[in-house]
């Protein structure tokens, strides 16, 4: 997965190595229950004490005492079973929480958000673009290194156990699994799709638009006209769907993009589906449909140093019926004069029930929201969900949603991972009271250097750490252990 502007950002910031130092958290209190006290950092002078939704009886009376200072606060549990109170306090203080109606009387220390983050736990290849977790393995796609690193995430830190090598000049950007053995890899510059065996870690075949030397891939299939800057890949109904951005040598769109359909049994080119917008980039499978995102066109003004979205370009989501391989519907995302940076939608991430979908922005710190049952736009550029800002460069390159409905959002420019509750779209829900600082700018917002949080993957097998991240500039693997802030139920 790669938004095209990253190439330009890397050109500007290529000399910056944000991840040259390992920077992990301290040793805050490790919670054992759902009632917790949380602070952003060890140096914080405020602490929030409370419980997430469902932690107590709605309407119950809560008494909270700072045992070190004797400060005392009371509150009432909200309708969703949550509560929180902020104290002016040290992170070394101890708190007592009493909810007589629920028989709760707990004494807790303070957990530190920064402590949950582990940075620079493995060196990645050049320009990592996507991380995918499948069981106990993490697969990192490295664009300019032409390979896929395989990590055992049951080890601490994750241990690299192998590398899948692709032909030179491939520039892999995305991976999708057919089964436990085979995966398809979209190669943007290579104008091809590779079929890799993740067990033997070999490239078994490659589907390319022209002939050539594709070593070390074992078999070559030629599909004339099938690819034009492959950018994403998904698998549904026995077929492989590849999004094509259709760009010129300056990464500007040449008309609209398209989606290539490949038979997963024969690896033969089946069909080309023309998109409704430019820059066909990200692609998601859900319930037998393919959601293909057209990001539009983003330009850079060399005089002002500003990025902007071309008002003439079309941003949309095409819903492809995988039975007919036709576009069944489209959701258009108009630009907004009020929020000009709220544009360039990224990959669609569905909620666990498939009711809604969320997309990040290639420029602003916002999310878009779509009703997937009716294929309608709920929160567009005029009224986006604001994660950090609508008027500053802070790309939300990836959104990943856990089974409990919590969304984790990669913030490229500010080096953070924010949390949002998709139940009500609230940002920084307790106890995730602030974004996780996952890079240099996460610690120092005024830093001239940054790591660039590029992509996120979540493991749901009950093991921790559970959130893994890759940085697009410093080429590092990182992780977040959310159980250090809130233990699983």
Q: How far apart are the first and last CA of the chain?
A: 33
Confidence check: pLDDT of 12 > 70: no
- Helices then strands, counting H and E runs in the chain, come out as 2, 41
**Residues facing 257 on adjacent strands:** none
Q: Which residues contact 379 (CB under 8 A, 6 or more apart)?
A: 367, 368, 369, 385, 425
Judged by phi (left if over 0) then psi (alpha if -120 to 50, else beta), residue 245 lies in alpha
For 299-330, what is each residue's pLDDT tens digit?
Answer: 888 888 788 889 889 999 999 999 999 999 99
Q: Are 5 and 307 in contact (CB under 8 A)?
A: yes
d(CA 211, CA 213) in angstroms, rounded, equals: 7
Q: Which residues contact 349 (CB under 8 A, 6 or more apart)?
A: 284, 357, 358, 359, 398, 399, 400, 401, 407
Place of tokens 């673009």: 129
* Nearest in space to 182 (alpha carbons), one of 246, 244, 287, 262: 262
pLDDT of residue 24: 59
The string of pLDDT tens digits covering residues 227-283 is 999 999 999 999 999 999 999 988 899 999 999 999 999 999 999 999 999 999 999
Closest Cα partner for 262 from 228, 297, 227?
227
Domains and CATH numbers, the chain: 1-28+346-489 (2.130.10.10), 38-108 (2.60.40.10)
Per-residue model confidence (pLDDT) at position 11: 40
pLDDT in tens, 177-188: 999 999 999 999
Q: What pLDDT was estimated at residue 302?
A: 84
| pLDDT above 80: residue 125 | yes
pLDDT digit string (tens) for 395-427? Answer: 999 999 999 999 999 999 999 999 999 999 999
Average pLDDT score, the chain: 94
Residue 5 above 60 pLDDT? no
Residues 143 and 132 sit within 8 Å (Cβ to Cβ) = no
Higher pLDDT, 171 or 309: 171
pLDDT band, residue 1 (cuts 50/70/90): very low
pLDDT band at 54 (very low <50, low <70, confident <90, very high): very high
- Which pairs from 383-388 meet CB under 8 Å and 24+ separation? 384/339, 384/342, 385/358, 385/420, 385/425, 385/427, 386/427, 387/411, 387/418, 387/420, 387/427, 388/414, 388/416, 388/418, 388/435
Residue 133 CB burial class (10 angstroms; 0-12, 13-18, ≥19): buried
Count, residues in the chain: 489
- How far is it, in rounded angstroms, from Cα 361 to Cα 393? 10
* Nearest one of 322, 294, 321 to 309, comparing CA atoms: 294
Specify whether the CB–CB gap between 129 and 141 falls below 8 A.
Answer: yes
**pLDDT over 50 at 298, yes or no:** yes
pLDDT > 50? residue 15? no
**What does the pLDDT read at residue 9?**
46
Work out the angle at residue 184's Cα, subtended by the Cα atoms of residues 183 and 186, and round it to the nearest 5 degrees.
145
Which residues have CB under 8 Å from 71's CB, separation 6+? 65, 87, 88, 89
pLDDT exceeds 80 at position 107: yes
| CB 401 within 8 Å of CB 6 | no
């Amino acid at each position: 997965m790669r938004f095209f502007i990253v190439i330009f950002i890397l050109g500007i910031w290529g000399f910056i190595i944000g991840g040259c130092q390992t920077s992990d958290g301290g040793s805050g209190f490790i919670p054992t229950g759902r009632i917790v006290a949380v602070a952003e950092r060890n140096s914080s002078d405020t602490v929030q004490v409370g419980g997430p939704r469902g932690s107590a009886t709605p309407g119950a009376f809560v008494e909270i005492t700072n045992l070190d200072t004797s400060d005392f606060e009371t509150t009432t549990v909200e309708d969703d079973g949550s509560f929180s109170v902020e104290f002016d306090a040290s992170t070394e203080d101890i708190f007592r929480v009493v909810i007589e109606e629920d028989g709760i009387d707990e004494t807790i220390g303070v957990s530190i958000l920064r402590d949950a983050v582990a940075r620079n736990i493995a060196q990645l290849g050049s320009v990592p673009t996507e991380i995918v977790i499948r069981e106990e393995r993490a697969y990192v796609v490295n664009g300019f290194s032409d390979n896929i690193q395989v990590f055992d995430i049951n080890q601490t830190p994750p241990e690299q156990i192998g590398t899948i090598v692709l032909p030179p000049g491939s520039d892999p950007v995305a991976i999708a699994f057919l089964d436990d053995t085979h995966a398809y890899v979209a190669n943007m510059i290579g104008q091809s799709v590779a079929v890799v065996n993740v067990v033997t870690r070999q490239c078994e075949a490659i589907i390319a638009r022209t002939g050539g030397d594709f070593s070390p891939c074992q078999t070559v299939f030629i599909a004339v006209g099938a690819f034009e800057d492959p950018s994403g890949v998904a698998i549904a109904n026995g077929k492989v769907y590849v999004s094509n951005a259709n760009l010129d040598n300056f990464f500007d769109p040449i008309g609209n993009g398209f989606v290539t359909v490949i038979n997963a049994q024969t690896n033969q080119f089946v069909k080309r589906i023309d998109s409704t917008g430019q820059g066909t980039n990200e692609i998601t499978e859900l319930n037998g449909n393919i959601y293909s995102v057209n990001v539009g066109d983003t330009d850079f003004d060399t005089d002002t140093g500003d990025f902007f979205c071309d008002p003439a370009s079309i941003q949309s989501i095409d819903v492809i019926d995988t039975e007919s391989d036709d576009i069944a519907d489209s959701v258009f995302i108009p630009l907004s004069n009020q929020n000009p940076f709220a544009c360039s939608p990224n990959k669609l991430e569905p909620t666990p029930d498939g009711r809604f979908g969320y997309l990040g922005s290639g420029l602003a710190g916002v999310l878009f929201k779509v009703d997937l049952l009716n294929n309608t736009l709920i929160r567009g550029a005029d009224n986006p969900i604001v994660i950090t800002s609508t008027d500053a460069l802070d790309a939300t390159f990836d959104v990943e949603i856990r089974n409990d409905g919590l969304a984790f959002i990669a913030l490229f420019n500010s080096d953070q991972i924010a949390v949002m509750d998709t139940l009500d779209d609230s940002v920084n829900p307790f106890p995730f009271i602030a974004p996780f600082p996952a890079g240099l700018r996460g610690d120092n917002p005024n830093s001239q250097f940054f790591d660039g949080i590029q992509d996120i993957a979540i493991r749901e097998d009950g093991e921790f750490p559970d959130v893994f991240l890759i940085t697009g500039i410093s080429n590092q693997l990182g992780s977040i252990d959310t159980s250090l802030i809130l233990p699983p139920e």
